[in-house]
Amino acid sequence: MGPGTRLPLQGGLPPADAPAGPVVEIACDESGFSGTNLLDPATPVIAHASVDLTAVEATALLTSLRAGFRFSPHEFKSRQFLRAPEFVEAREWFLAALRGRAHVHLVDKQLFLATRVVDLLIAEPSYAAGTRLAPAYREAALALYRVGRAAGVDWTAFLAAFVDMLRTKRRDRAGDGSVDRFLRARDALARHAPTDAVLTGLDRARVAAVQARLYADDRSIPHRWNRCCRRWPRPCCPGAVADGGCWSSTTSRAR
């Protein structure tokens, strides 16, 4: 590896080969991340945004914004910029300036958890799990989500029990009752939709076996599931993948 090789900011392997041709560097950030509390009502969605602006272009854009709309010369406050009614014109100008140069992917956290129920407990976890749901299971996950949204507190309890059951934290969960709590929450939710395909397909033996495999670090379950489930399912993963796919479709060399 040469002295000029730039390593990924978040770790990982350096590029195997030097880039052939110009490289477009994409800047990304997220908003709405609530840690282990995926059911925080204050942040029901997570946004993953990215731009392909160069440093020079970004500086010019912010300079114009400050000069034209009397913003602070030091730091922008997003709450003020996004919500203050006097900045409607500034927001419209800013969005117009970014047209074609920005991408935002929104993830509904409850829908994300519904897809994880299907991926992990109904389907067989794959390397795509944690990023996007296989097409064959999307309708089932959407149906479960719609049932849940109409079920109120039983839906929230079901999702909370699912997340709790996955938090293995490198210790055996076989005797702590988390599988039983999840199945009781399933039964309560199923009263709202007795024929839902996902709810009727959640088998105790299967659920317990998956939890045991995660605890045992079963290598047949892709590493993304093992690492994520030991802490919590991570909704930022689909956003990062969506942004990567967006920019890869518009430029041949994006990083």
Give Cα 255 to chain centroid, integer Å: 19
The answer to whether the CB of 21 falls within 8 A of the CB of 252 is yes
Of 117, 192, 201, 118, the C-alpha closest to 152 is 192
Q: pLDDT value at position 225?
A: 46
Distance separating alpha carbons of residues 61 and 79, to the nearest angstrom: 19
Predicted confidence at residue 8, as pLDDT, reads 44
d(CA 255, CA 246): 12
pLDDT tens, residue by residue, 154-206 = 999 999 999 888 876 656 666 788 999 999 999 999 999 999 999 999 999 99
What pLDDT score does 11 carry? Answer: 41
Exposed/middle/buried for 209, CB within 10 Å: 0-12, 13-18, 19+? Answer: middle
Q: Give the residue ranges of DSSP H helices in the chain.
A: 55-69, 78-83, 88-98, 109-117, 135-151, 153-166, 178-190, 197-201, 204-215, 223-229, 236-250
C-alpha 221/C-alpha 163 separation (Å) is 18
Intervals of the chain under pLDDT 50: 1-2, 5-13, 130, 223-232, 252-254
Residues 6+ apart with CB under 8 A from 34: 40, 42, 43, 46, 109
Structure token pair of residue 105: 């992917």
The whole-number pLDDT of residue 206 equals: 93
Sequence-separated (6 or more) residues with CB below 8 Å from residue 206:
121
